[in-house]
Structure 1
Amino acid sequence: MVIGPDEQGRRLDAVVGGLEPVGSRAEAQRLIESGRVLVDGVVVAKRHLMAAGERLEVRPAPPPLSELVPESVPMTVRYEDEHLLVVDKPAGVVTHPSAGHAGGTLVHGLLAHAIAGGADPTRPGIVHRLDRDTSGLLVVARSERAHRRLQRMLRDRLIERHYTVLVHGRTPPALTVDRPIGRDRKVRTRQAIDVVDGREAVTHLRLLEPLGRVSLLEARLETGRTHQIRVHLESVGHPVVGDRVYGRREETLGLDRQFLHAARLAFPHPETDEPIEVLSPLPHDLQLALARARRQADEHAAGERRPRR
């Protein structure tokens, strides 16, 4: 491109960072430092002030090579186009490779769907994640551009993420939990709210159905910290039913995992801006647990109504 009046006098890294294929000043600086940005055919410093008429050439870095091999992994594709996928992940499947999970992840199952985007070759296309034992919807990119735009939308809170969750206790009709979350100081595999380096975390909760000793809620994420919904619900005295890390050793309604399901995703399409809404029904194990909870609530209510002798 040829520098015009609008770019004249601006720093090189600011101009390059504003280009759609680059997307950020940090990425621009990496490209400049690696010699992939030329001004009139010459590598210059990132603080170089642009002059009108200079010719700017940017050579994007090649995508990172991945050694991952496609595998057959259970999942359902709920939405698909040339730019992205929305996938319904079952419980028990890890989102991407990590320590102790070198294979069998959602990423391995999605490699055949041409996912792409992001700097980490072990998690191509991944925009956000779900815990292993949380089921439901994830959006996954198919290009570097879609990945960058979806991540920006996530930061700007333009992607609506709604969960269905069953918790212990009777909750108020609506509740917002605004408590920073960080790694637990004593148990490093847990997250906690009472930490000095916690990051902002906001969860909005709405009561869907009171069921005696448990409550069915809708949880909407404003931020997306690790274990956020589970930590926030524990912090207000309503841990998730079946949660073996943040829950109680109480009635689990037959579940061997937490009752937490990513039921709805809504966002503007990163290329067309058209609204996308994808829904996921409750999985069978959660349907059975909910039926048990309703039956127990009905039996308890009937006992309360029965006249005493």
Structure 2
Amino acid sequence: MNKLRLSDFAVGIFVTTTTRKGIKKAIKNGLIFINGKQGYTSDYITGGELLELYQPEIKKTKPLIHIPIEVIYEDDYLAIVNKPPGILVSGNKKWTIENALLPHLTKSTQKDALQYPEPIHRLDYPTSGALLIGKTISSTVELNKLFESRAIDKTYLAVSIGKMKHEGIIDLPIDNKNSRSFFNVLNSVVSPKYNYFNLVKLKPETGRRHQLRKHLASIGNPILGDLVYGKEGFILKGKGLYLHAYSLKFTHPFTQEIIEINAPIPKKFKKLFSFE
């Protein structure tokens, strides 16, 4: 095909924006992307390119709550925060991490900046640790793609109970779906009541609901403080779940830098194990 300017070629190819005026406005607002990069009026289309049209964010009002949230990484596209235990990431409830983010993050200067930053993935209500946040429309799209393709390396720390072999793979299906977790015991200490406490490094290959909790319970080594999957008579109450999303590692979808961020280890872990 003969090369055409983006503003000419894109007319009529998108269902939601069909007019030349609408296309030019979408380009001006940074909503049309060519092969994953923002398109401009001066760009030419020669054939074979992937064109994507993002919808402008609808201005809305969310309830804002005030809780302390530690920001452990931030740039113009994304952020990583240290989620406190005992709060939902998102949902229809008022008290969520999503509703508490705005005062803690700097608004993106990108044209497709989100009115409200969005968590990209979920951590269980009782789980603490590294939570990835999108600050622009395009970053939420690209970061979700990284999760879907399993291109984000996630590492968790947990304290399990009972005697445990040094390392292994757990392949227990969850909800009739293949699920796999890798574990490595970093340290063990004797416990009069629980036999052993184990500091375990966990790497989930898949992302099923409650996967790590179910997998460790399935081999007889439930996570300390797990009120759902723990062994009856060996459930520690009042201290929360000893499961922490320790690190995230991935290639930044816009700067191409390798991002590797560790979330600070909770004090309750340090009371059981040395982390020098």
TM-score by length of 2: 0.73
Could you tell me how far apart the structure 1 residues matched to 2:134 and 2:102 are?
Answer: 11
The correspondence for 2:125, drawn from 126, 132, 135, is 132
User: For 1:86-111, what per-residue CA distance to the aligned partner results, in whole angstroms no more than 9, with x for missing partners?
Assistant: 0001111211123xxx2121111112
C-alpha RMSD of the superposition: 3.4
Q: Please state if 1:36 is matched with 2:14.
A: no
- Judge conservation of contact 2:117–2:136 (CA < 8 Å) in 1: no
Q: Please state if 1:221 is matched with 2:193.
A: no
Rg bigger for which structure? 1
- Judge conservation of contact 1:115–1:140 (CA < 8 Å) in 2: no
The correspondence for 1:257, drawn from 231, 240, 258, is 240
Q: Secondary structure at the match of 2:217?
A: helix
Q: CA deviation at 1:200?
A: 2.6
Q: CA deviation at 1:174?
A: 1.2
Residue 178 of structure 2 aligns with an amino acid whose one-letter code is E
Q: CA deviation at 1:209?
A: 0.8
Residue 258 of structure 1 aligns with an amino acid whose one-letter code is L
Show the counterpart of 2:89: 95
Show the counterpart of 1:106: 97
- Judge conservation of contact 1:73–1:105 (CA < 8 Å) in 2: no
User: For 1:92-140, what per-residue CA distance to the aligned partner results, in whole angstroms no more than 9, with x for missing partners?
Assistant: 1211123xxx212111111233679xxxx9x852211111111100110
After TM superposition, the structure 1 stretch with the greater mean CA deviation from structure 2, 128-137 or 167-176, is: 167-176
Decide which structure has greater strand share. Answer: 2
Q: CA deviation at 1:3?
A: 7.0
Q: CA deviation at 1:199?
A: 2.4
Show the counterpart of 1:145: 138
- Judge conservation of contact 1:37–1:58 (CA < 8 Å) in 2: no
Cα gap change, 1:129/1:74 in structure 2, threshold over 3 Å: closer, same or farther? same
User: For 1:207-244, what per-residue CA distance to the aligned partner results, in whole angstroms no more than 9, with x for missing partners?
Assistant: 11122323211001212111110011111221111100
Could you tell me how far apart the structure 2 residues matched to 1:273 and 1:265 are?
Answer: 15
Decide which structure has greater helix share. Answer: 1
Residue 147 of structure 1 aligns with an amino acid whose one-letter code is T
- Judge conservation of contact 1:127–1:151 (CA < 8 Å) in 2: yes
Count of aligned residue pairs for this structure pair: 234
